[in-house]
Amino acid sequence: MKPKIITIVGKSNSGKTTLLEKLIVCLTKRGYRIGSVKHAHDGFDMDKEGKDSWRHRKAGAKATLVIMENKVAMIKDDAASYIEKMRSYLSDMDIILAEGFKRQNLSKIEVFRIGSVHKNPLCMADENLIAFVTDSDYHVDVPVFGLEDIHEIADFIESNFLKKEQRGKKDD
């Protein structure tokens, strides 16, 4: 079974990364394997010029795997959709939490903060909005959480997107 994907969306400096970090810690402590994805814009290249992996790719390799004792990094040409890439590369995870991807047809949790330069939330009309995390008084038709309600948000994700059997399988 392919893991579900939930995206954490919001405008710049709304607290997306902070929320994602806290959710990863909380859900990991509950025994789940969490895959995380960060959207990068075109032109981003983690392969540094002059490094061996960069030289391999310049020589024509379509995929380069950098292997360390406890880590693996892959740089691969892949024209598949964002969603297909997430599910393919993170298929062994219980759930995928992604930051960004606000235009994708994926479940979304929006982070919206008052006092920022942004006047209105992004996803009020998005049918994929599943929850709203805010310090504002916005009323929406999805569950609303405060910025520090990490355990409650994790409970929401667990009860709606993770099956209890997943935790039992890992203990076998």
Note the pLDDT tens digit of each residue in 21-55: 999 999 999 999 999 998 776 656 667 788 888 88
- The separation between CA 73 and the C-alpha centre of its own chain, rounded to angstroms, equals 17
- Asked, for residue 34, whether it belongs to a domain, the answer is yes
pTM: 0.84
User: Of the spans 35-39, 68-72, 157-161, which averages the highest pLDDT?
Assistant: 157-161
Nearest-angstrom CA–CA distance, 113 and 86: 28
- Asked, for residue 101, whether it belongs to a domain, the answer is yes
Residues 160 and 4 sit within 8 Å (Cβ to Cβ): no
- Asked, for residue 65, whether it belongs to a domain, the answer is no
Give the chain's domain count: 1
| Beta-strand runs (E) in 47-170 | 63-67, 72-76, 95-99, 107-112, 129-134, 144-145
Q: Is 60 exposed, middle or buried (0-12, 13-18, 19+ CB in 10 A)?
A: exposed
- Residue 22 is part of which domain span? 4-41+78-171
Nearest-angstrom CA–CA distance, 114 and 147: 11
- Asked, for residue 48, whether it belongs to a domain, the answer is no
- Asked, for residue 115, whether it belongs to a domain, the answer is yes
**59/115: higher pLDDT:** 59
CATH code, domain with 138: 3.40.50.300
- Asked, for residue 100, whether it belongs to a domain, the answer is yes
